[in-house]
Amino acid sequence: MSIHLLSEKDQKLLRSSVLIPNFDAILRGLITNSLDGDATKINLSLDIDSFSTLVIHDNGVGILPQCLSNIGVVNHATSKHHNFTAAEIQSTYGYKGCFLFSLNSCCQSLEVISKRRAYNSVWRFDTINKCKTMISPKNALFYDSGTLMKVNNIYSKFPVRLKILKNKPKHEIVHSLRQIIFDLMITYQKHNQTVEINVEFINSSLPDLFYTFDFKKFSSTNAFATIFNEIFPNVLETRFFKKISTTFRNFKIEGTLSISGLPTTRYQYIFFN
């Protein structure tokens, strides 16, 4: 029996399934892209029943019109780094330029609308027609700058994953989304800003999520507890959090522990910087 290479299309699907192993990775990747684009307002809309629509809209710096046609169709296309130095990589969440390319391989298509602050025009690009067009700002609800990205028919090319996702309890999906936001806000580095993250569940009776993180008012001793209580209210009062630290030779470890027990391991986290 002879051995043949898989087609380029099948290779792309396999690579994307490894880089985006689950729905959490999609949510995390989209939100981190907004944060890396200096967004302070992030609005996420999700059809949590059919997963036919996922839209994220932010007020970040926007995408240059000449770069828009690379989104989702060119692998390893990134505006974040040109040399892989440790200092550069640590300054952003992502740097490889492969997330949107892999996401486009998992879904039916991506639609991107973006406005750069220095431009008066708003530009649109979709990965099906691969056509970039200028649209009127009146036809798009936009900030002074920012990007709107629409993911159409998530996992349309992975029917088994889509079936598993649809059968997953909705409250577990919502809790995973909360955990992703918690993780990203704990590791957020621009501490002189206020970040708003809103989540709307389309065609669902689930309550929407509204979070405001005023990092300017956070101190090193209460940041963890404040973020935790913003995302997971009524779980543990702030007074039950205790700041701890230890030093061994050239290593220093700091953390926050609860001095009150919980009947679940759901809220156990470990972060290394």
For the ranges 126-130, 155-159, 188-192, which has the lowest average pLDDT?
A: 188-192
The residue with greater pLDDT, 87 or 138, is 138
Q: Is the pLDDT of residue 164 over 90?
A: yes
Q: Is the pLDDT of residue 87 over 90?
A: no
Terminal C-alpha separation, the chain: 50
pLDDT at 23: 94
For the ranges 50-64, 147-161, 242-256, which has the lowest average pLDDT?
A: 242-256
- Quote the CA–CA distance of 108 and 31 in Å, as a whole number: 20
Largest distance between two CA atoms of the chain: 68
Helix axes 99-106, 8-19, angle to 10 degrees: 110
Pairing of strands 53-58, 122-126: unpaired
Determine the average pLDDT of the residues in 89-93. Answer: 52
Q: How many CA atoms lie within 13 A of 248 on its CB side?
A: 2
The DSSP element (H or E) to which 272 belongs, if any, is: none
Nearest to 152 by CA among 185, 108, 215, 212: 108
Q: Is 224 helix (H, G, I), strand (E, B) or coil?
A: helix
- Quote the CA–CA distance of 107 and 16 in Å, as a whole number: 10
Determine the average pLDDT of the residues in 62-91. Answer: 64
For the ranges 119-123, 161-165, 219-223, 252-256, which has the lowest average pLDDT?
A: 219-223
Question: Residue 185 corresponds to which tokens in the numbers above?
Answer: 């806000």
pTM: 0.85
Question: Residue 13 corresponds to which tokens in the numbers above?
Answer: 């699907």
- Quote the CA–CA distance of 31 and 58 in Å, as a whole number: 9
- Quote the CA–CA distance of 209 and 202 in Å, as a whole number: 12
Q: Is the pLDDT of residue 15 over 80?
A: no
Q: How many CA atoms lie within 13 A of 110 on its CB side?
A: 28
Burial classification of residue 144, based on how many CB atoms lie within 10 Å of its CB (0-12 exposed, 13-18 middle, 19 or more buried): exposed
Q: Which residue has the tokens 């992703």?
A: 180
Give me the helices (H) in the chain, please.
8-19, 23-36, 86-89, 99-106, 159-167, 170-186, 223-231
- Quote the CA–CA distance of 83 and 78 in Å, as a whole number: 11
- Quote the CA–CA distance of 195 and 49 in Å, as a whole number: 28
